[in-house]
Protein backbone atom coordinates (compact mmCIF):
# COMPACT_ATOMS: atom_id res chain seq x y z
CA UNK A 1 0.00 0.00 0.00
CA UNK A 2 1.37 3.38 -1.03
CA UNK A 3 0.95 6.10 1.56
CA UNK A 4 -0.28 9.26 -0.16
CA UNK A 5 -1.40 12.64 1.06
CA UNK A 6 -5.08 11.77 0.55
CA UNK A 7 -4.68 8.53 2.51
CA UNK A 8 -3.11 10.39 5.43
CA UNK A 9 -5.86 13.01 5.19
CA UNK A 10 -8.47 10.24 5.33
CA UNK A 11 -6.72 8.73 8.34
CA UNK A 12 -6.78 12.05 10.20
CA UNK A 13 -10.39 12.71 9.25
CA UNK A 14 -11.45 9.21 10.30
CA UNK A 15 -9.62 9.56 13.59
CA UNK A 16 -11.26 12.90 14.42
CA UNK A 17 -14.74 11.65 13.51
CA UNK A 18 -14.33 8.36 15.36
CA UNK A 19 -12.83 10.12 18.39
CA UNK A 20 -15.76 12.54 18.55
CA UNK A 21 -18.21 9.67 18.23
CA UNK A 22 -16.45 7.36 20.69
CA UNK A 23 -16.01 10.19 23.21
CA UNK A 24 -19.76 10.02 23.84
CA UNK A 25 -19.42 6.32 24.74
CA UNK A 26 -15.88 5.81 25.95
CA UNK A 27 -12.84 8.03 26.66
CA UNK A 28 -10.12 5.74 25.27
CA UNK A 29 -8.18 7.47 22.46
CA UNK A 30 -6.36 4.30 21.44
CA UNK A 31 -9.68 2.73 20.45
CA UNK A 32 -10.39 5.58 18.02
CA UNK A 33 -6.83 5.30 16.65
CA UNK A 34 -7.15 1.53 16.17
CA UNK A 35 -10.54 1.79 14.45
CA UNK A 36 -9.40 4.62 12.20
CA UNK A 37 -6.26 2.67 11.22
CA UNK A 38 -8.43 -0.31 10.23
CA UNK A 39 -11.28 1.61 8.57
CA UNK A 40 -9.22 4.16 6.62
CA UNK A 41 -7.81 1.76 3.99
CA UNK A 42 -11.25 0.19 3.57
CA UNK A 43 -12.94 3.56 3.09
CA UNK A 44 -10.17 4.85 0.81
CA UNK A 45 -9.78 1.86 -1.50
CA UNK A 46 -13.37 0.59 -1.56
CA UNK A 47 -15.41 3.81 -1.33
CA UNK A 48 -13.44 6.97 -2.16
CA UNK A 49 -11.14 5.68 -4.90
CA UNK A 50 -13.87 3.88 -6.94
CA UNK A 51 -16.15 6.92 -6.58
CA UNK A 52 -13.34 9.18 -7.81
CA UNK A 53 -12.81 6.93 -10.84
CA UNK A 54 -16.51 7.01 -11.68
CA UNK A 55 -16.89 10.80 -11.63
CA UNK A 56 -13.52 11.76 -13.14
CA UNK A 57 -12.95 11.78 -16.89
CA UNK A 58 -9.27 10.88 -16.80
CA UNK A 59 -8.15 8.40 -19.44
CA UNK A 60 -4.82 7.05 -20.58
CA UNK A 61 -3.06 8.67 -23.51
CA UNK A 62 -1.62 6.39 -26.16
CA UNK A 63 0.52 6.98 -29.22
CA UNK A 64 -1.11 6.55 -32.59
CA UNK A 65 -0.62 3.24 -34.37
CA UNK A 66 -2.51 2.25 -37.48
CA UNK A 67 -3.25 -1.24 -36.16
CA UNK A 68 -4.76 0.06 -32.91
CA UNK A 69 -6.77 2.69 -34.82
CA UNK A 70 -8.31 0.06 -37.08
CA UNK A 71 -8.66 -2.80 -34.59
CA UNK A 72 -9.98 -0.88 -31.55
CA UNK A 73 -12.19 2.02 -32.70
CA UNK A 74 -13.70 2.24 -29.21
CA UNK A 75 -10.30 3.32 -27.83
CA UNK A 76 -9.36 5.89 -30.48
CA UNK A 77 -10.08 8.71 -28.02
CA UNK A 78 -6.88 7.69 -26.23
CA UNK A 79 -4.81 8.45 -29.36
CA UNK A 80 -6.39 11.65 -30.69
CA UNK A 81 -4.64 14.12 -28.36
CA UNK A 82 -1.21 12.83 -29.39
CA UNK A 83 -2.20 12.95 -33.08
CA UNK A 84 -3.33 16.59 -32.79
CA UNK A 85 -0.32 17.88 -30.85
CA UNK A 86 2.45 15.97 -32.64
CA UNK A 87 1.56 17.21 -36.16
CA UNK A 88 3.66 14.31 -37.54
CA UNK A 89 0.83 13.16 -39.82
CA UNK A 90 0.40 16.52 -41.50
CA UNK A 91 1.28 16.57 -45.17
CA UNK A 92 0.56 12.92 -45.92
CA UNK A 93 -1.51 12.15 -49.02
CA UNK A 94 -5.08 10.86 -49.03
CA UNK A 95 -3.81 7.43 -50.10
CA UNK A 96 -1.37 7.30 -47.19
CA UNK A 97 -4.11 8.50 -44.83
CA UNK A 98 -6.47 5.79 -46.08
CA UNK A 99 -3.75 3.19 -45.48
CA UNK A 100 -3.22 4.50 -41.92
CA UNK A 101 -6.81 5.22 -40.85
CA UNK A 102 -8.84 3.04 -43.17
CA UNK A 103 -11.60 4.51 -45.32
CA UNK A 104 -13.46 7.53 -43.94
CA UNK A 105 -16.42 6.50 -41.80
CA UNK A 106 -18.38 9.50 -43.10
CA UNK A 107 -17.75 12.79 -44.88
CA UNK A 108 -18.71 16.19 -43.48
CA UNK A 109 -21.66 17.98 -45.06
CA UNK A 110 -20.97 21.14 -47.06
CA UNK A 111 -24.03 23.43 -47.05
CA UNK A 112 -22.75 25.58 -49.90
CA UNK A 113 -22.44 22.59 -52.23
CA UNK A 114 -25.41 20.71 -50.69
CA UNK A 115 -23.40 17.52 -50.67
CA UNK A 116 -20.77 15.64 -48.70
CA UNK A 117 -17.28 17.12 -48.73
CA UNK A 118 -14.69 14.43 -49.55
CA UNK A 119 -11.89 16.60 -48.16
CA UNK A 120 -13.24 16.31 -44.59
CA UNK A 121 -13.11 12.77 -43.25
CA UNK A 122 -14.79 11.86 -39.96
CA UNK A 123 -14.11 8.95 -37.62
CA UNK A 124 -15.85 7.93 -34.42
CA UNK A 125 -13.49 7.92 -31.45
CA UNK A 126 -15.69 6.18 -28.94
CA UNK A 127 -17.12 7.32 -25.64
CA UNK A 128 -14.76 8.50 -22.93
CA UNK A 129 -15.35 6.70 -19.63
CA UNK A 130 -17.25 8.55 -16.94
CA UNK A 131 -20.53 8.30 -15.09
CA UNK A 132 -22.07 11.52 -16.36
CA UNK A 133 -20.72 11.48 -19.90
CA UNK A 134 -23.47 12.15 -22.46
CA UNK A 135 -21.16 13.11 -25.32
CA UNK A 136 -19.27 11.04 -27.86
CA UNK A 137 -16.06 12.21 -29.46
CA UNK A 138 -15.32 12.26 -33.19
CA UNK A 139 -12.23 13.10 -35.22
CA UNK A 140 -12.23 15.42 -38.22
CA UNK A 141 -9.37 15.00 -40.67
CA UNK A 142 -9.15 17.77 -43.27
CA UNK A 143 -7.29 17.74 -46.57
CA UNK A 144 -6.16 20.64 -48.72
CA UNK A 145 -4.84 20.00 -52.21
CA UNK A 146 -4.77 16.25 -51.57
CA UNK A 147 -2.65 16.48 -48.41
CA UNK A 148 -3.65 16.20 -44.75
CA UNK A 149 -3.80 19.73 -43.34
CA UNK A 150 -5.51 19.42 -39.95
CA UNK A 151 -6.68 16.89 -37.39
CA UNK A 152 -9.19 18.00 -34.78
CA UNK A 153 -11.74 16.45 -32.48
CA UNK A 154 -15.26 17.47 -31.61
CA UNK A 155 -18.00 16.20 -29.33
CA UNK A 156 -21.62 15.53 -30.08
CA UNK A 157 -24.59 14.23 -28.14
CA UNK A 158 -24.98 10.45 -27.96
CA UNK A 159 -28.10 9.37 -29.81
CA UNK A 160 -29.64 5.94 -29.86
CA UNK A 161 -31.71 4.54 -32.69
CA UNK A 162 -35.31 3.81 -31.77
CA UNK A 163 -36.23 0.16 -32.12
CA UNK A 164 -39.34 -0.78 -34.01
CA UNK A 165 -41.84 -2.82 -31.96
Tens-binned pLDDT, residue by residue, of the chain (165 aa): 678 888 888 888 888 988 888 888 887 888 888 888 888 888 888 888 788 877 776 667 788 888 989 998 888 888 888 889 888 888 999 999 999 999 999 999 888 878 898 899 999 988 877 777 788 889 999 999 999 999 999 999 888 776 766
In sequence order, the 6+-apart residues with CB closer than 8 A to the CB of 97 are 89, 121, 141, 143, 148
Q: Which residues are bridge partners to 154 per DSSP?
A: 138
Q: Is 121 helix (H, G, I), strand (E, B) or coil?
A: strand
20 close to 32: Cβ distance less than 8 angstroms: no
DSSP symbol at 103: S
Predicted model pTM: 0.64
Amino acid sequence: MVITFTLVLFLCLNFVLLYLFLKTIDHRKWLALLLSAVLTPVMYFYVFYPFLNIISSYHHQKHFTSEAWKDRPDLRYEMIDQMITSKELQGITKKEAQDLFGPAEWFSWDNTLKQHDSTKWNYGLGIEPGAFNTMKTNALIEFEEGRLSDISSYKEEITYDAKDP
